[in-house]
A and B are shown apart, each in its own frame.
Chain A
Amino acid sequence: DAGVIQSPRHEVTEMGQEVTLRCKPISGHNSLFWYRQTMMRGLELLIYFNNNVPIDDSGMPEDRFSAKMPNASFSTLKIQPSEPRDSAVYFCASSQHSGGNTEAFFGQGTRLTVV
């Protein structure tokens, strides 16, 4: 398996623009997680899905952020409108919840810069 695939790897956009980050989890995994990482705040869990259903989105910073998982092989994280403080590395991770093991596999991340 190619692992968790995120696109794009890098994104530079202007303030106010819509940004869509994409994630393809590992085939067969039933849980998907979106994280944001900055120097100041470290790794923050934004939202996670189980069987394509959002379970906890309490980490989503505000209404400008939204995430969807239309099927088991694809998820998006959208920021609209984007702001400079959204600049960060966004990671997607997936796991197979099976009786106790929650080893999560992370993608390479998308480095977002909002100018």
Chain B
Amino acid sequence: LAKTTQPISMDSYEGQEVNITCSHNNIATNDYITWYQQFPSQGPRFIIQGYKTKVTNEVASLFIPADRKSSTLSLPRVSLSDTAVYYCLVGDLYMYSGGGADGLTFGKGTHLIIQP
């Protein structure tokens, strides 16, 4: 079971770039890295997913170094509405081949607070 470690909380200000790093030292060859966002009273929402190097979409970027033992979620120019809990998940996407549901096992997440 690939475990993840994230900061419990982070603070930033509107307009800043925010980087949240997740450590996953025992990531396996078949494991992907996925980030979710959760607002209060809502279910988590998928942000981005990657395997190596860099992935970018309209919401965020995901940086994964060559050794894949960590990953960084980058949120450009945050706003107050980006205040939420961000979860890093690591696991084998092919869970039905006996790998279990690591890819959808949530840790404690990072509580990001954006201030004006």
Contacts and interface: CB of A to CB of B under 8 A. Distances in A.
Given A101-B49, A102-B95, A107 B43 contact: yes
Interface string B26-59: 0000001010000001111110010000000000
Given A55-B95, A100-B32, A100-B93, A43 B106 contact: yes
B77 interface: no
The list of the 7 closest CB pairs from A to B, nearest first, reads: A106-B43, A43-B106, A103-B46, A102-B93, A91-B43, A100-B93, A102-B103
Given A43-B44, A93-B43, A100-B32, A55 B96 contact: yes
A108 interface: yes
A interface bracket (residues with beta carbon within 8 Å of B): 20 to 34
Interface residues of B, number: 23
Nearest to A103: B46
A20 interface: no
B105 interface: yes
Contacts of B100: 56
A55 B103 CA distance: 14
Contact residues of A: prevailing secondary structure: strand
Given A50-B96, A100-B93, 9 more contacts: A45-B104, A56-B95, A100-B32, A101-B49, A102-B34, A102-B93, A104-B104, A106-B43, A108-B42
B44 A45 contact: no
A20 B106 CA distance: 24
Contacts of B87: 43
Interface string A93-115: 10001001111111111000000
B77 to A, nearest CB: 24
B101 interface: yes
A91 B104 CA distance: 13
Contacts of B46: 103-105
A42 interface: yes
